[in-house]
Structure 1
Amino acid sequence: MAPISAPKILTTSTFSRLSLLFTLSILMHYYSSEATLPPQTTEMVLYFQDFASGANFTLIPVAGIAGKLWTFSQFGTVFVTDDFITETPDQDSPMVGRGQGMYVTSALDGSSTHAMFSIVFVNQAYNGSTLSIQGTGKQFEAVREYAVVGGTGKFRFARGYTTFETISVDPPRGHSVIRCNVTIRHD
């Protein structure tokens, strides 16, 4: 029969390695459980106040085909926008943010617009946060849909979609109110 050996005593070096391994396993578990939390879903309705003419315009054509009229239906026309966004359709309702970016009439027949802009929040709930909107939509349809491709602040890692509906137009003032329905998932 083989003799029974005495139990090994943990050395300081072995104990340090085990402590490090234990600490690392706790940290890995903590961070992996954080990463698997389900994303939040946020839905909101915003109103873009768009002024295409007048002293306080918020949308302007900045480039297009030479010799052609720069309009929404003219292929190649580029617009820059800085619309203010409100809580309700009333332009005097509290401001939520700004819609800042560009639109390009991207279809040869003028039917589609490629949008690239950000919703920059200035209200108390989301101040400093942004949502990035991008995609191509049929600009003369009642409802246009674009992708939410990212976000910052409270909307980090945002993904989702928006729909835009023009709910009123005042041609003499060049003023349109556009309802924006946002559905996003984010951290």
Structure 2
Amino acid sequence: MKVNPCVVMMLISLVAAMPWGEGVKIENWASKLEVKKENITKLQFYFHDTLSGKNPSAIRVAEAVDTDKYPTLFGMLMMADDPLTEKPDPNSKLVGRAQGLYGSASQQEFGLIMAMNFEFVDGIYKGSSISIFGKNSIMKPLRELPIVGGTGVFRLARGYAIAKTHWIDPTAGDAIVGYNVTVIH
């Protein structure tokens, strides 16, 4: 079946001319925001990144042709759904999940670019999240990552997270990382 380009252009013009949201109830959250004093919230939790075993929480989803030639695994991309717990013990209380991706973005050091959403599943922050995007130089004792946004209680959040490796298995790649987070919202 041959499609007439004039008909396609006419349909695109009609759709573009239609008012947005007509007949559809859309929450305009920005107009409902109250201007008030900002809050500063400090959080501490542990990130459990498990690459080994029968049920890993992070898996390799892509890599460059030459990734294995680099000691830093440059070009590797991982997808994660990692538990966040109250204490370093993996069996301690679950407070959230870190979901997103990270990839090796450095040829000279173990430097990961992380795009992660930390969603909280317990307490007063249940259903809220913070988004982190930045470089994590995992071999440094302390790393600072920017908080670039959030949802729920943390809507329009900004701030920073300090990451410190608590434990690592260099052979398997499994790690437990402590996070001290300061969120302005």
Contact map agreement 2:109 2:137 (CA 8 A) in 1 = no
The alpha carbon displacement at 1:110 in A equals 4.0
* TM-score for the superposition, normalised by structure 1: 0.75
Residue matched to 1:163: 162
What CA deviation, in whole Å up to 9, does each residue of 1:36-69 have, x standing for no partner?
x220000010101121110111112211112542
Residue matched to 1:73: 72
What CA deviation, in whole Å up to 9, does each residue of 1:98-143 have, x standing for no partner?
0001111112224321110100111132111110000113221111
Alignment of 1:26-175 (within 5 A): 34-35=34-35, 37-66=36-65, 68-69=67-68, 73-170=72-169, 175=174
Distance in 1 between residues matched to 2:67 and 2:172, nearest whole Å = 24
Find runs of 4+ consecutive structure 1 residues off by over 3 angstroms: 170-175
Distance in 2 between residues matched to 1:87 and 1:57, nearest whole Å = 20
Deviates more, 1:112-121 or 1:63-72: 63-72
Distance 1:175 1:113, change over 3 A: closer
Contact map agreement 1:111 1:139 (CA 8 A) in 2 = yes
Unaligned runs of 5+ in 1: 1-30
Higher CA-based Rg:
1
Contact map agreement 2:43 2:180 (CA 8 A) in 1 = yes
Unaligned runs of 5+ in 2: 1-30
Residue identity in the other structure for 1:61: R
The percentage of aligned residue pairs carrying the same residue is 36
Residue identity in the other structure for 1:55: K
Distance in 2 between residues matched to 1:89 and 1:70, nearest whole Å = 33
What CA deviation, in whole Å up to 9, does each residue of 1:53-86 have, x standing for no partner?
1011111221111254298812111111111010
Distance in 2 between residues matched to 1:130 and 1:71, nearest whole Å = 34
Residue matched to 1:3: none
Report the 3-state secondary structure (helix = DSSP H, G, I; strand = E; otherwise coil) of the residue aligned with 1:57: coil
Report the 3-state secondary structure (helix = DSSP H, G, I; strand = E; otherwise coil) of the residue aligned with 1:69: helix
Task: Name the count of aligned residue pairs.
Answer: 153
Residue identity in the other structure for 2:51: A
